Amino acid sequence: MIGVLLDGLVQGLQLALLGVGITLVYGLGGVLNLAHGQLAVVAGVTTALLIGAGFGRIPSAFLGLLGAGLAGVIIDRTLLLPAYRRRGEERLLLALILTLGLSFGVDGFLAYRYPSVALTLRLPVGAVVLAGVRVRTVSLAVAGLALLAFALLALFLKRTLLGKAVRSIIQNETGASLCGIDVGRTRTLIVGMSGLLAGLAGLSQGLFSNLGPEMGPEFTVLALIVAVVGGVRSLSGTVIAGLLLGLVNAVASFYVGTYLTWILLLLAALLTLLVRPEGLLAYWT
Partner 1 sequence: MLRVEGVAVAYDGIPILRDVSLEVGRGEAVGVIGPNGAGKTTLLRTIASLVRPQAGSVSWDSLRLDLLSAHQVARRGVVYIPAERELFPQMTVLENLQLGSYPHPSGYPVRLAFIFDLFPRLAERRHQRAGTLSGGEQQMLAIARGVMMQPKLLLLDEPSTGLAPLLVAELYRQLGRLRDEGLTVLLAEQQVPRALEFCRRLYVLENGQVVLAGSPDDLLKNPALKRAYLGIA
Question: Distance (Å, rounded) from C-alpha 264 to C-alpha 61?
Answer: 32
Nearest to 230 by CA among 5, 25, 16: 16
4, 100, 118, 183: residue in contact with partner 1 (rule CB under 8 A): 183
Phi, psi of 131 (to 5 degrees): 50, 45
Q: Determine, following the binding rule CB under 8 A, whether residue 181 of this chain makes contact with partner 1.
A: yes
Contact call for residues 205 and 44 (beta carbons, < 8 A)? yes
Please, are residues 68 and 229 in contact by the beta-carbon 8 Å criterion?
no
Q: Report yes or no: 237 and 231 within 8 Å, Cβ to Cβ.
A: yes
Residue 172 makes contact with partner 1 by CB under 8 A: yes
For partner 1, the binding residue among 1, 178, 274, 275 (CB under 8 A) is: 178
**Toward partner 1, which CB reaches closer, 168 or 261?**
168
Q: Kindly tell me which of 172 and 209 has the beta carbon lying closer to partner 1.
A: 172
**Within its chain, how far is the Cα of 280 from the centroid?**
17
CB of 113 to partner 1, least distance (A): 40
Query: Least distance in Å: CB of 184 to partner 1?
Result: 9
77 near partner 1, judged by CB under 8 A: no
Q: How far is the CB of 273 from partner 1 (least distance, A)?
A: 24
Angstrom CA distances, 78 to 81, 188, 197, stand at: 6, 11, 20
Q: How far is the CB of 162 from partner 1 (least distance, A)?
A: 9
Residue closer to partner 1 (CB basis): 105 or 175: 175
The CA radius of gyration of the chain, in Å to the nearest whole number, is 18
285 sits near partner 1 (criterion: CB under 8 A):
no
Contact in structure between 80 and 98 (CB atoms under 8 Å): yes
258 near partner 1, judged by CB under 8 A: no
Note the residues at the interface with partner 1 (CB under 8 A): 161, 164-165, 167-168, 171-172, 174-183
